[in-house]
Chains A and B, each alone.
Chain A
Amino acid sequence: MRRRSNCYLLLTGALLLLMALAFGHASMVRADNTQVFQRRAELVQSLGLTDLCLFTDARYCRHPSMADRNTAFQDNPMSFEHFPSGSLFMPPPHLKERTDEVD
């Protein structure tokens, strides 16, 4: 009769090992990608880019950091979304927090 606790402890041990491997894998990939990050950062610097290309359905979704308060059909960053992507993220903090002095 195979002992149940042995099976369970083996399974848990295997899962924990996999988790440790995942963390190890993450660490390895991060180290491997250092060059990639550098090349990306260089491209960003040379072109003067400001945003990630995550959402391309609307201007304020494509360049949230550059968005103005009054994109077409929108009254303010807190108004209802017209594009699905806009519901995924908050308006940039500087649009909500900016004081009149700098705005």
Chain B
Amino acid sequence: MIELKDVRKVYNAGKPSEFVALDGIDLSLEAGRVTVLKGPSGSGKTTLLSLLGCMARPTAGRIHVFGREITSLPERFLTEVRRKTFGFIFQQFQLIKGMTAIENVMIPAYPSGERRAELKARAEKLLEMLNLSHRAEANAEWLSGGEAQRVAIARALINNPAVIIADEPTAHLDTKLAREFMEIIENLNGGGMTVLIASHDPLIHESPGVDHVVTLKDGRIVSQGAFQCS
């Protein structure tokens, strides 16, 4: 489903602060699986997530998403691929303060031109699925950590993506909430969702719902779980 061939990512190329974040990455991710990227800080997890989720372009190499090469796509089309294919859960959730939970959920779908009533109905359904209907009208800054996380998940799902990408989703949560998060992920995966998680958290690495683990170090893959690789 997502294929990376000899991908390399260099930041600040040609400058004194040049930094090779990823080098020689060959990776194939199959649909319907939960994949975890693990490794120490600076190993390239976030960069790899960015490339997989079409948030950045590689310096070298090719990336295919659902058979379509996206490496040299113009920004407009790349954004469209990103919006339709991927849903993102950021490290600190990045909800917009001052907006309600349901408004935050609807934001990614605004530019699509969908009728608001339909959009709102979909957002309400997602919040219901995540047991958050009673907090739909609460402002984002009044939500607890667990509630904010579930709003972030609902937001990631609003455009019916094929892939959910989560960057350190449990970094600011206690064990109970971290377990709840993985339960939600497992449920989504049970429904056919492909999930990509970058995390330090051993709770996630050892979770029974995880199909594959990719270990990174210094921008290279040092080991991989039970999925196709070269």
A and B touch in the complex (CB under 8 A): yes
B116 on the A face (CB < 8 A):
yes
In the assembly, what is the distance between CA of A55 and CA of B116, in Å?
Answer: 60
Nearest chain A residue, comparing its CB with the CB of B116: A3
Q: Give A contacts to B, CB under 8 Å.
A: 1, 3
Residue B180 lies at the interface, judged by CB distance under 8 Å to chain A? no
Counting residue pairs across A and B whose Cβ atoms lie within 8 Å, the total is 4
Cα distance A3–B100 in the bound complex, in angstroms: 13
Report the Cα distance A41→B112, complex, angstroms. 64
Q: Does B137 contact A (CB under 8 A)?
A: yes
B137 cross-chain contacts in A, Cβ below 8 A: 1
Contacts of A3 in B (CB 8 A): 116
CB-contacts of B84-132 with A (<8 A): 100, 102, 116
* Smallest CB separation, B81 vs chain A (Å): 28
**Interface 1/0 per residue, B197-209 and A, CB below 8 Å:** 0000000000000
| Chain B positions within 8 Å of A1 at CB level | 100, 102, 137
Closest 4 A/B residue pairs (Cβ): A3-B116, A1-B137, A1-B100, A1-B102
Which residues of chain A are near B100, meaning CB under 8 Å? 1
Show 4 A/B contacts (Cβ-Cβ < 8 Å), sorted by A: A1-B100, A1-B102, A1-B137, A3-B116
Interface residues of B in 171-226 (CB under 8 A from A): none
